Amino acid sequence: MTKRSIVAVLLAAALLLIPSCDAETFMRKFGTNVLGGLGGEETINQLEEQIDMIIVGEEDPESPSYDKIVSLVVQATRNPDTESKMLDSLAQTTDQASETIRTEVDNILDEVNKNMDSNISLDDFTDENINSLLESIETSEDIPAGLKNTAKTAVDDLKKLIDGINGTGTYVPTKGDIVIVKSISSVADTILAELNSSEGSEIAIDSVIDAANEALKMINTVKPSSVFSNLDLNGIIDELMSSMNDSSEEEPVPEEGHEGEVTE
């Protein structure tokens, strides 16, 4: 299997094989006293501090800010009042958010391009290409009908974010957008790490699914503070899984005793 094929399979796995991820499962990964019982204000202050470190490029490679952000978000979600204040904090706009997001996305695309022999950049997301993508979604026979409107909404949101990054739109990126991009980056990093550490055949798919589960919960938690506030990720996954089940039920079953022959 080529590297390009492996990347495609892993990306599909990350999107399609993510099991339902509730808060209890998400928090169990980090234990019961992740941060020693921080108070609400201290949790939010530390979260802002970690995001600011990402913005100014002062992350510690040995202790990445994103890992700490995950733990802090988990801590905040244990208290509805703290979670609400956290979302208010993440909804803050910052002049440096655009450049931070651009850097993160460029890094992701650079790694994907290396492994997939492609040449994708943010500059490819032009109005013409976005409109072409929307038309392709509408006419595609591979996208379930129940997902088309959601897919188009996601593309519209992405376009709004890119326009915000480029300073050509009215939307101003938030700290929540930074967290979401870092969540997506974590999945991409896991996929590429598994790809590069393997010899082209042995891939730890569980690691990819674990990273995707974590990112799913993170995105669902912080998306009210981002451009993707109306994106229903769980609904997308449910629709995809339902479509996959419907397809499998329609496949003809070989008659017993005649392996490989399909009954009429």
pLDDT in tens, 132-160: 888 888 888 877 787 788 888 888 898 89
CB 252 within 8 A of CB 54: no
Would you give the distance in Å from CA 232 to the centre of its chain? 12
pTM above 0.85, yes or no: no
CB atoms within 10 A of CB 6: 19
The answer on pLDDT for 248 being more than 80 is no
Q: How confident is the model at residue 121 (pLDDT cuts 50, 70, 90)?
A: confident
Answer whether 90's CB lies under 8 Å from 225's CB.
yes
How far is Cα 160 from Cα 149, in angstroms, rounded to an integer? Answer: 16
Tokens representing 99 are: 């450049």
**Does 10 score more than 50 pLDDT?**
no
Determine the average pLDDT of the residues in 100-119.
Answer: 83
